[in-house]
Chains A and B, each alone.
Chain A
């Protein structure tokens, strides 16, 4: 029945009909809720009543007049630091597991496995690891003779708790970053390595001068994921510490969730979410600017 249509029209029709469902789903489940979020941020809706009183920019004013709210970003810094370490380790494993190594698929699988696991399950699991009196980590430290260290309250010491939590994130997401790096390594043509070998470059020189520059766009992507991940951490502290001790591990998103669901202030919480969105955009733009400047001078 389409035979009578011109080729161009057929093509358009096919493109249109194939896109219709995904675009409709995207609009329905991503853009519609996002638009609603923007709308809520201008109201002081309590989360359930039919009335949503319009308050204009009041919510935004309140967020910016309360320095407390932004103070929690300091806690996210730990996740950022751990994210950087995570990327370094991921590149390391990617390079090793990209070489000819016996059983490398097995190792790749083992390192990637944590990423597949459910975040809440991971959090619960690490709850048992970090427990002060009965946790496996402290039991291990005690059994190898480090009894002083084996008394550490991993999740109960201000200043340490965020790094403990972030190291869980490292364990979980390192494999994911690694897989992306491996993919990019495989895209580097092997002839340039051959040429380098003929010129007498050693392993370090090959890595530093060829592998890394070739991976740069992918490193940028992974850093982007790390930064946004660090800004949006929620599940780990929510399950493991509830933000404790005394709010030392509270993250921004956790605060948003509390504002909405514990204090019934959906309007303010929506405004906080929108601000986080702009914050992420700003940080990523800054990162892009810094990194691409380095590339320009080369």
Chain B
């Protein structure tokens, strides 16, 4: 009887061992990671580059490119490096959130984009990329660097401005793109009179308001460090600084009826089709949207791009901003192969033209006609500064979400109260954190 009892308990334990399997796996993985470091250094010494092999996994947010453009990239890449296998992993809708969960669990892909974490945390997860040789200087090199080492490389840069349907402008009798704010309002009026919605704000979705509050304030102030200088202010939002002025531009358009009929009920996907077909006239967004509008059926020749004139001075400035940054997992089993693929993506893939970006490499001309048109206006492109982690910390502590504040500002009867409310939250968070 005793033996039987023992047997049953053994069975029970066998069952629980199945359950505990996950834990066991985790342990094995960390062991692996330790081992690969040595394997890698060995490989680096022996191989001359072309012999690189291994598997590279890439967690991407461009799920639409999987099975299409990415397949074509891999084909071209493999002509050069036949032994490196590239695998794409589609991210869920919220890349940032998913990446952070995987950082917490230590299961990162080889190549990924940098989620929004302070730069001081970069060395904990990512490998330094200073040893990759590019054909020309990189833009935004100091953005994702820490203690002089480069951890993130921009996937492409963009600028923001007015993307417009040329036929809508011509039909409304506008022959020249507006150079001042008053001219811009006059153009909106003409378009409205013509029965077309002048500007698609996509107000409801909140994120399309980003350019108004992230780019415009520093452009209006003509000070690239303006967002970071908030660290010295107790009341960063006022009617006569960049923030108030930028939000006032949007509010003016809303109050004059130049935005969608009901700004609380907008439809992003539909708006692209409406811009393409001429039911709506303009977007104020990054240049990435140009290809998306063309993608839903607009003729490329019919879509134009010009900088938004924010005042009546006639000077034109626009923000240059980096998109996602590539980063390489520091525990990657195939570090060299991953770096090789990253270099190829930047230099040869042509991804920036597909995505409608300005190349991450300095001095490379874009193949997009709209970007050339934009440059021809004589606009000054202002590079941004990396965010000060302290400013982010205060913003998070005060739960400040700039596009949401812009929404409140536009809908409020008295916008000053909105600014006062968030100034108070800012000041309190700043004091609590001791900055």
Interface, chain A (partner B; CB < 8 A): 1-2, 4-5, 13, 16-17, 20-21, 24-25, 28, 47-50, 127, 130-135, 153-157, 241-247, 258-259, 261-265
Contacts and interface: CB of A to CB of B under 8 A. Distances in A.
Contacts of A153: 262, 264-265
A24 B404 CA distance: 43
Interface stretch (B61-69, B152-160, B373-381, B407-415): B407-415
B205 A48 contact: no
B365 interface: no
B12 A264 contact: no
Contact of B8 (A13, A156, A246): A13
Most buried by A among B205, B261, B263, B399: B399
B247 to A, nearest CB: 13
Please provide the 10 A-B residue pairs with the shortest distance between their CB atoms, ordered closest to farther.
Answer: A156-B264, A132-B262, A132-B265, A263-B396, A246-B408, A48-B100, A245-B264, A153-B262, A48-B103, A4-B1
A133 B262 contact: yes
Nearest to B206: A242
B411 A262 contact: no
B206 A48 contact: no
Contact of A261 (B12, B97, B262): B97
Contacts of A264: 396
Q: Is the interface of A mostly helix, strand, loop or mixed?
A: loop
A120 B7 CA distance: 49
A3 to B, nearest CB: 9
B265 A155 contact: yes
B401 interface: yes
Given A48-B104, A156-B204, A245 B97 contact: no
Nearest to A47: B100
A28 B204 contact: no
A258 B262 contact: no
Interface of B: 1, 4-5, 7-8, 11-12, 15-16, 19, 94, 97, 100, 103-104, 117, 121, 124, 204-206, 260-265, 267, 270, 395-397, 399, 401, 404, 407-408, 411-412
A235 to B, nearest CB: 14
Given A5-B4, A17-B12, A20-B15, A244 B265 contact: no
B204 A241 contact: yes
A24 B396 contact: no
A127 B262 CA distance: 14
Contacts of A1: 4, 7-8
A258 B399 contact: yes
A258 B12 CA distance: 43
Contacts of A134: 267, 270
Given A1-B7, A5-B1, A262-B401, A24 B16 contact: yes
Contacts of B15: 17, 20-21
Contacts of B206: 242, 244
Contacts of B8: 1-2, 13, 17
B310 to A, nearest CB: 24
A247 B204 CA distance: 11
A47 B265 CA distance: 33
A106 to B, nearest CB: 35
Nearest to B103: A48
A245 B407 contact: yes
Given A4-B1, A48-B117, A242-B204, A265 B396 contact: yes
B336 to A, nearest CB: 27
A47 B104 contact: yes
Q: Which residue, of A5, A48, A127, A247, has the highest number of chain B Cβ atoms within 10 A?
A: A48
Contacts of B411: 245-246
A17 B16 CA distance: 10
Nearest to A49: B121
A163 B270 CA distance: 26
Nearest to B409: A246
Contacts of B412: 246
B16 A131 contact: no
A24 B100 contact: no
B119 to A, nearest CB: 13
Nearest to A44: B397
Contacts of A17: 8, 11-12, 15
Given A2-B4, A17-B12, A133 B204 contact: no
A244 B12 contact: no
Nearest to A255: B399
B408 A156 contact: no
25 contacts: A1-B8, A5-B1, A5-B5, A17-B11, A17-B12, A17-B15, A48-B103, A48-B104, A49-B121, A49-B124, A50-B124, A131-B265, A132-B261, A156-B204, A156-B265, A157-B264, A241-B264, A244-B206, A244-B264, A244-B407, A245-B407, A246-B411, A261-B100, A262-B401, A263-B395
Nearest to A156: B264
B16 A20 contact: yes
Contacts of A25: 19
Contacts of B404: 243, 246-247
A56 to B, nearest CB: 15
B261 A133 contact: yes
B94 to A, nearest CB: 8
A271 to B, nearest CB: 14
A21 to B, nearest CB: 7
Contact of A135 (B12, B204, B260, B265): B265
Q: Which residue, B12, B19, B262, has most C-beta atoms of chain A within 10 A?
A: B262
Contacts of A263: 395-397, 399
Nearest to A9: B5
A191 B103 CA distance: 64
A24 B4 contact: no
A244 B121 contact: no
B264 A155 contact: yes
A259 B407 contact: no
Nearest to A157: B264
Contact of B265 (A2, A16, A21, A133): A133
B210 to A, nearest CB: 13
Nearest to B408: A246
Contacts of B7: 1
A263 B205 CA distance: 18
B19 A28 contact: yes
Nearest to B1: A4
Contacts of A245: 204, 264, 407, 411
A145 to B, nearest CB: 21
Contacts of B117: 48
A48 to B, nearest CB: 5
Nearest to A4: B1
Nearest to A240: B204
